[in-house]
Amino acid sequence: MSDIVVFAGGSHPKLVEKICENLSIKPSQVKLGKFSNGETSIQIDETVREKDVYVIQSGCGHVNDNFIQLLILINACKTASANRVTAVMPYFCYSRQPDIPYTAKGAPLISKPVENYKFDNQPDAPIPASIITTHAPSSVATSSAEFNQTRPALIKYNSSRIPVVNENGNNSKYPTSSETHFNLSNAGYKLWVSQNGTLIADLLTTAGADHVITMDLHDPQFQGFFDIPVDNLYCKPLIQNYILHEIPNYLDCVIVSPDAGGAKRAAKIADALELSFAMIHKERRCQLTKGPPRASLSSNSADPVPSSTHVNNSNNKYVATTMLVGDVRDKVCVLVDDLVDTSYTITRAAKLLKDQGATKVIAIMTHGIFSGDALSRIKQSGIDKIVVTNTVPQELSLKFLGSDRMEVLDVSKVLGEAIRRIHNGESISMLFERGW
């Protein structure tokens, strides 16, 4: 391993030290800093000529600063004649982009904010679809003067979806093409979200990355954005090992997926351990008002006839329907997912499981982002214990929740073994099933 160089980014230096311990090497010397104007400054203090370089940087913390730091490190090594540069990203940033409107705190826009979340709180009430509006396309846009007149009566959420909600909550008439805003439930226009997968892949490859190593991508199709090899390691063996050795009477557990997107991941773990499987299904749909359409009396007949072909949906609502598929009564439920960010999904899932008779809820996640007030929400929720890995630094989270409520699994051995095998030209398929 004499011709291998490992550089640590500024996002997770403790994980880099553990990986290097497993490789029996020391992290190479690099100086990371910033100029007074905020630009990133990097100085490499070791030669990398004709060597295999591994730059370890997790996409957490100040995501944009850390990602730019990663790009500069890769480019500096490539410019210094490194033989091959591999970006090791335990948590791949920008791989999760919600496709529904959300507030500045990360909560779904269909939900009303709760100042003091409690376990007994009912699920958040939906916001009527009639007051969720968005900017009209250019074909129905009006002059800037007319837009500015309506601007004071609107509330804007600071996100790329640009949803706009009326302050009074009323929208009793149908928007027309002459109006600046139109109703989301009437129009076929969907809020457009920029998906940044191709951009991130192009930035890494342009900087000079020859290989990417990551763990539990939120969307496996993200690998298709790259023209270079991408090894997506799985945390499944570590989760299975934890369930086998750390949960008493694990044969009586039920593996639960908190949403349909993670059902395949949770089902594989349930099949491997021969355990029961359950899934929480969430569905968001526009609910039309009940009753016949509006009618008016014809001048030639006493029978009412419809005056319009559409139903006045001023009272239409986006309804979030949640249902549990499976039996969890008097069982220990193990929630399995790839990441927890704002914790809305897992806290609501835990409440539903407890309402359905579950005795205990254990949440096992690969990446613990915990943005916003996620930790406070988890602390007051029905989750008895949450288990995450150290792909993201968890010192502050562990201090906030306490060691009796939170546990951290170490992934440094898996990442270290993947680096060793790739460096020696060996297969890493064994890590997908058995871990290390």
Q: What is the mean pLDDT of residues 265-270?
A: 94
pLDDT mean across residues, the chain: 78
- Token digits for 93? 């940033």
Q: Is there a shared CATH topology between the 4-96+195-234+413-431 domain and the 236-283+320-409 domain? A: yes
Q: Which CATH number fits domain 4-96+195-234+413-431: 3.40.50.2020, 3.20.190.10, 3.40.640.10, 3.60.15.10?
A: 3.40.50.2020
- Where does 236-283+320-409 sit in CATH, by number? 3.40.50.2020
Residues 289, 209: Cα–Cα separation, whole Å:
55
DSSP H or E run through 386: strand 385-389
Confidence of residue 185 (pLDDT cuts 50, 70, 90): very low
State the pLDDT at residue 144: 45
21-30, 50-59, 106-115, 253-262 — which is least confidently predicted?
Answer: 106-115
Residues 318, 310: Cα–Cα separation, whole Å:
18
Coil vs helix vs strand at 276? strand
- Token digits for 108? 């779904």
CA distances in angstroms from 41 to 31, 47, 235, 259, listed in the order given: 8, 18, 34, 42
> Any idea where the domains of the chain sit in the sequence?
4-96+195-234+413-431, 129-183, 236-283+320-409
- Sign of torsion, CA 209 39 95 402? positive
State the pLDDT at residue 82: 95
- Asked whether the predicted pLDDT for residue 353 surpasses 80, the reply is yes
C-beta of residue 284 within 8 angstroms of C-beta of residue 109 = no
Question: What DSSP string runs through 84-116?
Answer: EEEEEESS-TT----SS-B-TTS-BTTB---SS
Buried-state track 213-248, b at ≥16 Cβ within 10 A, e below 16: bbbbbbbeebbebbeeebbebbbbbbbbebbeeebe
pTM, 2 dp: 0.74
- In the chain, the percentage of residues whose pLDDT exceeds 90 is 58
DSSP H or E run through 148: helix 144-150
- Asked whether the predicted pLDDT for residue 303 surpasses 60, the reply is no
Confidence of residue 193 (pLDDT cuts 50, 70, 90): low
The phi and psi torsions of 55 (rounded to 5 degrees) equal -105, 115
State the pLDDT at residue 286: 57
Smallest CA-to-CA distance from 100 within 364, 226, 286, 280 is with: 286
CA distances in angstroms from 406 to 387, 389, 397, listed in the order given: 6, 11, 8
Question: Could you say which DSSP state residue 309 is in?
Answer: S
Residues 384, 247: Cα–Cα separation, whole Å:
12
- Asked whether the predicted pLDDT for residue 415 surpasses 90, the reply is yes
Coil vs helix vs strand at 326? coil
Residues 370, 88: Cα–Cα separation, whole Å:
22
What is the CB-side half-sphere exposure of residue 115 using CA atoms within 13 A?
A: 0
Backbone angle region of 61, left / alpha / beta, with phi > 0 → left and psi within -120 to 50 → alpha: left
What is the spatial order of strands in the sheet that 253-257 belongs to? 317-325, 276-287, 253-257, 332-340, 360-368, 385-389, 406-409
- Asked whether the predicted pLDDT for residue 295 surpasses 50, the reply is no
Confidence of residue 17 (pLDDT cuts 50, 70, 90): very high
